[in-house]
Amino acid sequence: MKALRQFASDGGTLVALNDASRFAVEQLLLPVRNVLEGVADDEFYAPGSIFRLELDPSDPIARDLAAQSVAWYEGGPAFEVLDSSAVRVVGRYPADPERVLLSGWVLHPERVAGRAALVRVKLGAGQVVLFGFRPQYRGQSIVTYPLLFNSLQLTSK
């Protein structure tokens, strides 16, 4: 972790997908909170569902993509921003809990409604990109692959 922190602090970009985002938040002490941390399955559960995703097309990660998209959600985190000067929300779930789920099922979607699903966090001269979903999940990800590829091409400024 010391080497990863140094890499990002020196201007590098780290990309963490789904559960790896939890690890990055904890180990790098990033200014976001996983709102699903410690939540029991009877309080929130989505075993593999397609969630609606609202993107910020002005961000380089979401460039050339529609503002309304989808993401394969499977047990990942959902983020609360603790320091808006260091965190940029690139994608979030709809604020209306009734609009979160597109396909599959979810128990208590209000837990993630309006929460960040994809963020960029400044870390020194670099950044950490946190995906709260799986952008590379099988064929379902054709619409989210560009988010992953664009995050890999980021340069710190």
Average pLDDT over residues 139-148: 84
- Which residue, among 48, 54, 118, 57, has the nearest Cα to 88 in the 3D structure? 118
Domain layout of the chain by residue ranges: 12-152
Q: Write the pLDDT tens digit of every residue in 73-93.
A: 999 999 999 999 999 999 999
Say what the pTM is: 0.95
pLDDT exceeds 80 at position 64: yes
Q: For residue 154, what pLDDT is reported?
A: 85
pLDDT exceeds 80 at position 140: no
In sequence order, what are the beta bridge partners of 49?
73
Q: Write the pLDDT tens digit of every residue in 2-60.
A: 999 999 999 999 999 999 999 999 999 999 999 999 999 999 999 999 999 999 999 99
Beta-carbon contacts of residue 71 (< 8 Å; ≥ 6 apart): 50, 51, 53, 91, 117, 133, 134, 135, 144
Q: For residue 142, what pLDDT is reported?
A: 83
